Amino acid sequence: MPQGMIVKALSGYYYVKPAASQAEAQGGYVQCRGRGIFKKRGITPLVGDEVLYTPTENGEGTVDEILPRETELIRPPIANARQAVLLFSVREPDMNLQLLDKFLVHIEHAGLKPLICLTKEDLLLEDQDEENTESLAQIKQLYEDIGYTVIVTSSLTGTGTEEVMRHLAGEISVFAGQSGVGKSSLLNRMLGLSLETSEISLKLGRGRHTTRHVELIELENGGYVADTPGFSQLDYLELGVEELSQCFREFVKYAENCKFRGCSHLHEPGCKVRAAAELGQIAASRYEHYVQFQDEMKEKKRRY
Ligand code: GDP
Ligand code: ZN
């Protein structure tokens, strides 16, 4: 049975890209329906799934089997993504570290590898404000010290785009960030397309409100990108208190030595995480956001 990857889901169809070794399909994809039994068993094939399929007589196909998933995201519904590219603009909209940390929690929890892009660098250089340029360097340093990869980009000048491209090679990445931070522009630049941002949006599946549409964009280097606004809808309901602190990866080595097991790192005596924050070993902003997220979680859980 031929194998392939679902690269697009639209109106009940799954578009399967056959594995390289297999017979070429019309237009590069085989338009498939899911097997009837999937529905009965509550199985939904996802974009990114590696599948076995059977070609049918009309040139279409049936997805028969979904191979085991490495990762699975609910919002956006994508399987086997390994990396999340987090975009935050230095301007327009202004940098929001609280939101950045919130995205990171979500990404860590989903088991994806985060790649942080600080976009629109040119807007900072333009007004030659040294203070702002300095603070950009500080933010980069802050997250690099935690162990994240941070790339400063500009889709206008091309800064950083090749470096981002290299990180996308050979795997499925989801692009995430508030609207307006420059996701389409960066993708546009990487794809070497010269379409208008609005046209790109259409190509990327935005602005189509009639159907739920998820699609992977294939890059030259074998990478796949999902540009999905859905990723910004963060939800803490499924996170526990301990899980939240594990999602702040630099807390972990301190948390091991807290006096109490299951320490929430808020008020307990002998808390090494709080001590590290007080000593500046953990960035003040990170600890502050942790406390805020704890509050938000409690608030949410009360309401549901
Ligand atoms: P998206 O909503 O995240 O996909 O953001 P877009 O790519 O549509 O960009 C939003 C706006 O920011 C557009 O007006 C872009 O022209 C502008 N923009 C995007 N990237 C850059 C950049 O690197 N530099 C500057 N100066 N503007 C940018
Ligand atoms: Zn603690």
User: What are the residues whose beta carbons fall under 8 Å from the beta carbon of 298, sequence distance 6 or more?
Assistant: none
Q: How far is the CA of 101 from the centre of ligand 1 (A)?
A: 22
pLDDT at 194: 44
Q: Which atom of ligand 1 is nearest to 185's Cα?
A: 7
What is the whole-number distance in angstroms between the Cα of residue 83 and the centre of ligand 1? 22
pLDDT at 20: 74
Residue 273: predicted pLDDT: 97
Measured from the CB, is residue 91 less than 6 Å from ligand 1? Answer: no
Alpha helices in 66-223 (DSSP H): 97-110, 121-126, 130-146, 161-168, 183-191, 197-203
Quick check: helix, strand or coil at residue 214? Answer: strand
Amino acid at residue number 292: Q
pLDDT per residue as tens digits for the range 138-166: 999 999 999 999 999 999 999 999 999 99
CA of 154 to the centre of ligand 1 (A): 9
8 Å CB contact between 281 and 287: no
What pLDDT digit, counting tens, does each position of 245-289 carry? 999 999 999 999 999 998 999 999 999 999 999 999 999 999 999
pLDDT of residue 110: 84
Establish whether residue 197 lines the binding site of ligand 1, counting it when its CB lies within 6 angstroms of any ligand atom.
Answer: yes
Q: Residue 27's pLDDT is what? A: 58
Pair 78, 48: CB distance under 8 Å:
yes
Q: Is the pTM value of this prediction over 0.95?
A: no
What is the sign of the dihedral through the CA atoms of 207, 213, 219 and 223?
Answer: positive
pLDDT of residue 240: 74
Give the residues of the chain that fall short of pLDDT 50: 194-196, 198-200, 206-211
**Whose C-alpha lies nearest to ligand 1, atom 14?**
180
Which residue's alpha carbon is at the smallest distance from atom 16 of ligand 1?
Answer: 185
How many residues are recorded in the chain?
A: 304
CA of 251 to the centre of ligand 1 (A): 34
How is residue 140 annotated by DSSP? H
Which residues neighbour ligand 2 (ion) by CB within 5 Å? 258, 263, 265, 271, 273
DSSP classification of residue 17: E
> Pocket of ligand 1, candidates 185, 189, 191, 198: which has the most ligand atoms within 8 Å of its Cβ, to mutate?
185
